[in-house]
Amino acid sequence: MGCCSTNVRVRNWFLVGISTVYLIAFVSLFVQIPGLYGDRGILPAHLALQKNLKTLEEITSTQPSLLHILPKLGINGVELGFNIICLFGIILSFLAFTSECCRNSLVFGTLWICYQSLFQVGQTFLWFQWDTLLLELGFLTIFVAPLKLLFIDLHAFSKQIGTISFWLVRWLTFRLMFSSGVVKLNSQCPTWWGLTAMTYHYESQCIPTPLAWYAHQFPVWFQKASTASVFIIQIVTSILFFSPFRAHRNASFYLQSFLMFVIILTGNYNFFNWVSIVMCLSLVDDRFLACWFGPNGCKTRTLLPKILNILMRISTIVVHVCVVGAVVYIAHHYFGFSLESYQTFLHRYVPVTIWVAALSLFFTILKALGRSLMMMKGLLNKLFNIMFVLMVSVFAVVTFSTSLVPYTDIDRGTQEKLPRKFIDLYQSTNKIHTINAYGLFRSMTGVGGRLEVIVEGSNDLKDDGWKEYSFLFKPGYLDRMLPVVAPHQPRLDWQMWFAALGSFQYNPWFYHTMYRLLNNQKEVLDLIDHNPFASEPPKYIRAQLYKYHYTSWNASTKNWWYREHVREYMPAMSLATEQLITYVKQQGLDKSDSNSHGNSICVHLFKCLHAITPPRYGFHVCLAFLLAGILSLLWDRSKAGRDIDQSLTSLNKKPKKS
């Protein structure tokens, strides 16, 4: 069986990529556990863990998490269990990153269970779209990875299984990209419709990079062209994911990857853009990788006569021209940016995408079955192979059908035509998030300036007595250039951005943060860059709402920002404020986990680990793990190369004469 038919090399790169994303996700979360989920953190994990779930059935149906099982193994304390699961995820994902023998279904299944366990009690700080994306993609990876039971590699009997399950990754990639483009127009946000969204995006996004300031200075015509290109890439050309022609899929890979790299350069979106690029590997094959990374990919062989080969090439060129023409026509005809033409496009295009994807899946399954019959030798091997292919095919069809429910959220008319059975299947997966709806940046925030919450403390209520807290990565001081922090995600800084878009009454975690700052809680202060009350906590704390703007090229100041006061965000509070006292008691923030004092050696060990990896160095810790993994891969590759050279040298040596 040729490698081109199964794309073994591409799938191995994909598994390396997913291992890397898991590694970053676990490492980034680990350094923030005490401040976010510790007993003295903002949202203690033990308060989110449901009590009295004893049987496995109760746990899986209510709150599937290993944190319910660890006490039965003698590990007491939710914070300790959170740390153990996260550290185990780091170790396992690093092994999968650096060692091919660890990239199997069992390992990726374990990684998925670990992240699922943390997600279930992660609350606001872990409920981002990229976290649910990692859960869905991680679940599919279990079926993409080789299936090994002890020393038996069952995947070797049916390599076509990976072809079908890898198609589901392509379908997920399409849903993510296409939906992310459509929801922008569905929101009817005037900036997206007027193609002016990018004139606000760079300064209003959560955590900009230094390059975002320069991108913000581009002229309006360039920003409009950038906005239009986002729609073309995400909405129009994404249907090429399912084209039978390699050139179309390769072009889609380049376009999507280019968009992700531009976002990486101008915005700190943690591991989201990196995992999107990894997902796009489902669009290419081993021949594509051979062009970039050496001649180890498979070479194409044609058995067609010269005349037929020339005719095939001509017909391929004609198809390419037709596809480009269709893209231009759709972009011009339907994207005149009138609501009526857009809705007409959506009502027609969404069902077309479903049928095109369904046909692509059908031919993928058919091809896998055909190759199973032709490539395998022996009747038993053929039957065993076909059985596995059929099992995975049923799984793929059910997964595809179920995913149509969240996918058609972008067009309710299409969703209403779906069978009720699909909706029931989707609702049954809600608890574990194996199938999700996607769509980022529906409405452009920060039009007229980005809203920013500034926390202040004071020992009196005089106007000149208030001092600002400075956060690690979000805008605060006007002369401060924001750093590059991705792929690490500072989750408190992200939530502060969301808090500015609403009110503190609808953000319970904000109450919790203010309460911890009034107590100078070290674990939470580690998430803060500068505490103006280092010696003793402030008596009062409040929050002000500002509008931040980027400075311009010709500004006389060297500041990156200028700001204007909007209003008071949260009134001054103290530990004696009745509203705060009542809320703290209701939430149980004044109570610690009764089991957290056990396992003193383990608790002390994790305290030492967190002491040497504080949140402010989260980016550096992530980078250190990445570099260690890359060096390990390079070492293994060079060692394998030396072994091959030594073998060839020994074979070329002539035997000595006796």
638 pLDDT higher than 80: no
* For residues 376-396, average pLDDT: 81
Quote the domain boundaries for residue 112.
Answer: 1-157+605-658
Bridge partners, 455 (sequence order): 543
Radius of gyration of the chain (CA): 27
DSSP 429-447: TTTTTSS-------S---T
- 492 and 625 belong to one structural domain: no
Domain contains 46: yes
- 22 and 130 belong to one structural domain: yes
| Distance between first and last Cα of the chain | 45
* For residues 302-319, average pLDDT: 56
298 pLDDT higher than 50: no
* For residues 321-349, average pLDDT: 67
Do 94 and 23 form a contact (C-beta atoms < 8 A)?
Answer: yes
DSSP 125-169: GG--HHHHHHHHHHHHHHHHS--EETTEEGGGT-THHHHHHHHHH
Domain contains 80: yes
What is the spatial distance between Cα 80 and Cα 59, in angstroms, rounded to a whole number?
A: 19
Do 258 and 234 form a contact (C-beta atoms < 8 A)?
Answer: no
Would you state the pLDDT for residue 150?
53
Tokens read off for 527: 């998430």
- 84 and 137 belong to one structural domain: yes
Q: E-strand spans in 447-536?
A: 450-458, 467-468, 470-471, 528-530
Would you state the pLDDT for residue 1?
36
Domain contains 113: yes
pLDDT one-digit tens code per residue, 235-292:
888 988 998 888 889 889 999 999 999 999 999 999 999 999 999 999 998 888 877 7
What is the spatial distance between Cα 63 and Cα 196, in angstroms, rounded to a whole number?
A: 43
> To the nearest whole number, what is the mean pLDDT of the chain?
85
Residue 314 CA, distance from chain mean position: 41
Percent of the chain with pLDDT over 90: 53
Would you state the pLDDT for residue 117?
95
Would you state the pLDDT for residue 301?
47
- 79 and 8 belong to one structural domain: yes
- 570 and 625 belong to one structural domain: no
Domain contains 62: yes
Domain contains 508: yes
61 pLDDT higher than 70: yes
- 621 and 523 belong to one structural domain: no
Would you state the pLDDT for residue 343?
82
Percent of the chain with pLDDT over 70: 86
- 514 and 638 belong to one structural domain: no
pLDDT one-digit tens code per residue, 468-509:
999 999 999 998 888 899 999 999 999 999 999 988 888 889
Q: For the ranges 76-90, 322-336, 577-591, which has the lowest average pLDDT?
A: 322-336
Do 401 and 358 form a contact (C-beta atoms < 8 A)?
Answer: no
What is the spatial distance between Cα 30 and Cα 91, in angstroms, rounded to a whole number?
A: 12
- 486 and 569 belong to one structural domain: yes
658 falls in which pLDDT band (50, 70, 90)? very low
- 106 and 26 belong to one structural domain: yes
**DSSP secondary structure code for residue 72 in this structure:** G
- 108 and 153 belong to one structural domain: yes
pLDDT one-digit tens code per residue, 154-199:
555 556 677 889 999 999 999 999 999 999 988 888 999 888 999 9
- 20 and 152 belong to one structural domain: yes
- 524 and 657 belong to one structural domain: no
Domain contains 554: yes
Would you state the pLDDT for residue 297?
43
Domain contains 550: yes
Would you state the pLDDT for residue 653?
61
300 falls in which pLDDT band (50, 70, 90)? very low
Domain contains 122: yes
Quote the pTM value.
0.90
What is the spatial distance between Cα 521 and Cα 545, in angstroms, rounded to a whole number?
A: 24
657 falls in which pLDDT band (50, 70, 90)? low
pLDDT one-digit tens code per residue, 440-473:
777 888 888 899 999 999 998 887 889 999 999 9
Do 12 and 293 form a contact (C-beta atoms < 8 A)?
Answer: no
Would you state the pLDDT for residue 610?
93
| Boundary of a domain, candidates 525, 555, 575 | 575
Number of domains present in the structure of the chain: 2
- The full length of the chain comes to 658
| Boundary of a domain, candidates 575, 591, 624 | 575
357 pLDDT higher than 90: yes
pLDDT one-digit tens code per residue, 75-132:
888 999 999 999 999 999 999 999 988 999 999 999 999 999 999 999 999 999 999 9
